[in-house]
A and B are shown apart, each in its own frame.
Chain A
Amino acid sequence: MTITTPETPQKQTRRPPFDPELEAVLGILGAQMPSAITPEMIPLMRGGALLEASDELFAGVTRRDVTIPGYNGDEIIVTVIERDGRTGTGPGIFHTHGGGMIIGDRFVGIAAMIDWVLRFDAVCVTVEYRLAPEFPDPFPVEDCYAGLVWTAEHAEELGIDPGRLIIAGASAGGGLAAGTALLARDRSGPALAGQVLIYPMIDDRDESVSTAQIDGVGVWDRTSNITGWSALLGDRRGTDDVSIYAAPSRATDLSNLPPAFIDCGSAEVFRDEDVAYASQIWADGGHAELHVWPGGFHGFDMMAPHTALAKAMVEARTQWVARILGV
């Protein structure tokens, strides 16, 4: 017998269900931030307090800002973060923050980096790359690359073992980390021991199943993604005129890259491009670890850190970093 109760969703695009705990969080997040970010909303999102890091985050670590040459030699800022009173040499983490290429600063996502700084006695260098649309491609990725070059060149005074320097970033920062790793490969340096690509934003083409599925729902939906890529690439978005460093998914050869860690949620726009990136690395004989967390929305580890799924995600990532750094 066929009877519909009000519990049956009446109209829904087919997509993986959200994890129940995450769905409960989404209910509250929905009232605080929109699923879809349009270009007009960029100034508002930049001004919001949502992305501000609080001082409590930096308990136990010292941070100092350094002005360094960015793309074209323009001045940009990096912040060096290490444990209070740290001496000697240890692992290094070069961090590229998230924010869809359009929002955020070098402290977005820094909590996870500080955890590694304390856990592995590492030094983190986080870069204030310039944001689109005011600074379109290649500014962001070239600023990141310049920051990586500076970090490698100053490894000794920073207390970083050059053989144990990794790059890490989430979302747009994951895309920039992947692009920077490609630049480092193609320009023969600096050497990287690993790349941590946390639900990376790497494909401008808006062609995947997952981008169609996450439309007007969840966090960072299809509209937001088009907003971010259009800000970065302008009219070039989706055309043949996009470099592999801007949109690493476009690379057809992912050989000779440092080992990659890639994770994402099954219910986010970036799922398919992230899975494809790992597959391409394997196809090209590389080393990659891929985790797709079922029912996860974009950035759920940051927005719902108390949930079982978020804890598992963070733990898997930290374990990989520990193995790569040999600690």
Chain B
Amino acid sequence: MQELVGRLTALDPEASETLKVVSYFDALVAGGVGPDSLLRGAAVLSGAVAGYAAGSSSRVTRVAPDGEPLGATDAAASDWPSRETSDGSLVWLERTGQAHANDAMVLERLALAVAITSARRSNTADAAVEVVVTAGAAASERAVAATKLRLDCAPDVRVVVSLPDGPPPVDGPTAVVATARGLVRVVLVDGPVAVPPGVRAGIGLGGAADRLPESFASALIALRLGTSSQHVVDAAGLGALLLVAEAADRHDEQHPDASTLAALDPRALAVLDAFADAGSVRQAASALGMHHSSVQARLDALTETLGYDPRTPTGRTRFALARALAALQRPGLG
């Protein structure tokens, strides 16, 4: 068991174990822990002393990889890898010599987590954003937060979610919020939304401010339904698919149709997508730059694999649903 601890103490320095780092900090943020736990996490994952100088005070905290607190030091005077957080604090790893492959990721997630934690505790607009989209919060608490955000009378407000690492994709009150599938950036927008190209985002249903938890839930589904070809998904455009997706998401079992799609190679999937988009074999062939008879042949073969013909009306619906379920099946936020 000691060896197990050893492995946790320092992730493989050669391999970037991004997913482990991300999920570790996501779990801490979701659990609502304080900065000391976040620092312990950074120290144990990197195998180096982790430090935090709060922007709002002169408080400096340092933690060794075994979790023991250490005395203060002047990080600014060192050349340790460090990162400034969005609330003006500084976090660092006391790495001497060559940096490990995971150091940058650990610092990035530590900085993000520290900023979220301090925002939550400071009763600022960030905290209000989280309260207003959280179904678990009391209705009265959410009403107060909505007033604070000047959204209490807005008739058509919605949640836009994007991945937490980048800046907010649109203007509006924003915060990074922990969900069961990881951290997302939440932006509240009053009225229609235009997301700049290239940014992955999900747009939630619009409505009155007290519907924001519903909007948040639909925005998350929309984000997860996005693909490399379709970056932005608007829940309002999903129609009944939103209902199906929400229902499917409550089940742990994977649908066989979705699993079949997930097992296909990208080229086969591209043929199916092109046909679904174009609606005819000829148009799909021209979009793919293939001869229509080869597309026809591929679709014949794929009909065998799928167990249904995507060219029939029923098959097209079945494919569209399977495609959405396969997107939801992806781990994390897809």
Contacts and interface: CB of A to CB of B under 8 A. Distances in A.
Interface string B24-39: 1101101111001100
B214 interface: yes
Interface in A97-134: 108-109, 111
Interface stretch (A29-37, A77-85, A266-274): A29-37
A50 B7 CA distance: 9
A25 B40 CA distance: 11
Contacts of A9: 180
Interface string A3-17: 111111111000000
Given A1-B139, A306-B65, A7 B214 contact: no
Interface residues of B, number: 48
A21 B252 CA distance: 25
Interface stretch (A194-202, A233-241, A248-256, A297-305): A297-305
A43 B66 CA distance: 31
A65 interface: no
A49 interface: yes
B4 interface: yes
A312 to B, nearest CB: 11
B89 interface: no
B3 A29 contact: no
Contact of A5 (B5, B33, B65, B213): B213
A34 to B, nearest CB: 13
A310 B67 CA distance: 10
A29 B31 contact: no
A21 B37 contact: yes
B267 interface: no
B249 interface: yes
A310 B1 CA distance: 14
Given A7-B136, A20-B32, A306-B67, A27 B24 contact: yes
B320 interface: no
Interface stretch (A52-60, A143-151, A181-189): A52-60
B179 interface: yes
Most A CB atoms within 10 A — which of B33, B43, B179, B181? Answer: B33
B332 to A, nearest CB: 12
Given A3-B217, A5-B135, A52 B30 contact: no
A7 B135 contact: yes
Contacts of B43: 306
Interface string B6-35: 111100000000001001110110111100
Given A7-B179, A29-B4, A50-B1, A306 B30 contact: no
B134 to A, nearest CB: 7
A311 B33 contact: no
A3 B135 contact: yes
A308 B37 contact: yes
A5 B139 CA distance: 14
A24 interface: yes
Interface residues of A, number: 42
A1 B32 CA distance: 25
B217 A5 contact: yes
A23 interface: yes
Interface in B138-181: 139, 178-181
B250 interface: yes
Contacts of A57: 2
A28 interface: yes
Contact of A302 (B1, B178, B252): B1
Interface in B63-82: 65-67
A292 interface: no
A64 to B, nearest CB: 21
A254 B217 CA distance: 55
Most B CB atoms within 10 A — which of A9, A28, A53? Answer: A28
A23 B31 contact: yes
B1 A303 contact: yes
Contacts of B250: 10-11
A244 interface: no
B2 A7 contact: no
Contact of A20 (B9, B33, B67): B33
B1 A108 contact: yes
A54 B1 CA distance: 10
Nearest to B44: A306
B262 to A, nearest CB: 20
Given A6-B181, A28-B8, A20 B31 contact: yes
A52 B1 CA distance: 7
A30 to B, nearest CB: 10
B91 interface: no
Interface string A289-327: 000000000010011111110110000000000000000
A10 B180 CA distance: 10
A42 interface: no
Given A8-B135, A10-B250, A306-B44, A54 B2 contact: yes
Contact of B36 (A1, A23, A108, A308): A308
A304 B8 contact: yes
Contacts of B220: 5-6
B41 interface: yes
Contacts of A299: 1
Contacts of B210: 1
A6 B40 CA distance: 28
13 contacts: A1-B210, A5-B220, A7-B135, A10-B251, A10-B252, A19-B31, A20-B32, A32-B7, A54-B2, A108-B1, A109-B1, A306-B65, A306-B67
Given A5-B179, A24-B31, A54-B6, 19 more contacts: A3-B213, A4-B135, A7-B179, A10-B252, A20-B28, A20-B33, A21-B28, A24-B24, A24-B27, A24-B28, A24-B41, A31-B20, A50-B3, A54-B3, A57-B2, A305-B67, A306-B40, A307-B40, A307-B67
